[in-house]
Amino acid sequence: MLKTCKITAILDGSPGHEKQTEGIISALAKYVTVEITRLKIKKTFLSDIVSWLKVLVGLCRKTGKSEDVDFVMGTGTHTHPHVIKMGNAGGAKKIICMFPAPFLTRLFDLCFVPNHDRPKSGKKIFLTVGPPNISENKHIHKPDIGLILIGGVDEKSHVWDSDKICDYIEQIVSSESVNLNWTISSSPRTPEEMDAKIRRFAAEKEHVSFFPFADTPKGWVEKRYDMSGIVWVTADSLSMVYEALTAGCTTGIIPVEWKQKVNKFAYSEQYLYDHKIAISYDNWKRNRDHINSGNGLNESDRCAREILRRWRPESLQ
């Protein structure tokens, strides 16, 4: 009988980060019995300093109690010292999502790094196509249901033009089949004037509904992925692009203007086009054609299998 896999998940309160950790844990549960302890941490500068001090002064030396926990996992920089501290204290394998600072890589046992971060190769680095997530292809998509997800302002990465984004959305809705029923939703970064524009647009269209982010409960977007035959996402919301692809949706990307032409977001977007994983708006406009995008993309499963390949190979037999 296979041994239960004991996991401590360090959670920082960021939905995007927690989806990555939870996605891998859910994937592991399909291969082995898992016992999960979830620890919420404070995401403040002071708590980070205290946690790193504990690591640096050796307050978490190995005790040899490796039987207590098998894996300590986290996503995001705030989880790093906690993962290191707990892993060192009990001998558990230390696993992190996202690319840590290069000098920290050696302190972890395995790092799941999106290929757009373009890290140097190493035995502790495992590249993923975008971040892992909790989406799952349930094969229940309906061809007459579409979903459009809108990001918003981020002063560091891109120029947000509400009028231009609205034009793209109007083109998509008016050019697709009249039998398609569209749901449009915003995000916490969506400007108020964009919300207002989309609300007016939806009110004028019988087959368009608008759900502001504030009105969507936890798990709402995952249910929409399950049923939507086609999904369009603004390029600044790449995490939702990967969620839609993992859910098996045919997925298109609405362009934004990147402030720096060479950046990890632009690299990730271009990778999806080059490998025919997602649809670019420009190609769609020229051809009005959909490729069958997203088939087989399941990075949470790949991550789970890599963990088991390294430390529980019998679970994959």
* pLDDT tens per residue, range 258-310: 999 888 899 999 999 999 999 999 999 888 666 665 567 999 999 999 999 99
More reliable by pLDDT, 104 or 60: 104
- Average pLDDT of the segment spanning 135-158: 95
- Average pLDDT of the segment spanning 42-57: 68
Domains and CATH numbers, the chain: 5-133+298-316 (3.40.50.2000), 142-287 (3.40.50.2000)
Q: Is the pLDDT of residue 121 over 90?
A: no
Q: Is the pLDDT of residue 35 over 90?
A: yes
Predicted model pTM? 0.90
**Mean pLDDT across the chain, nearest whole number?**
90
* pLDDT tens per residue, range 197-210: 999 999 999 999 99
Whole-angstrom distance, CA of residue 63 vs CA of residue 105: 22
* pLDDT tens per residue, range 214-270: 999 999 999 999 999 999 999 999 999 999 999 999 999 999 999 998 888 999 999
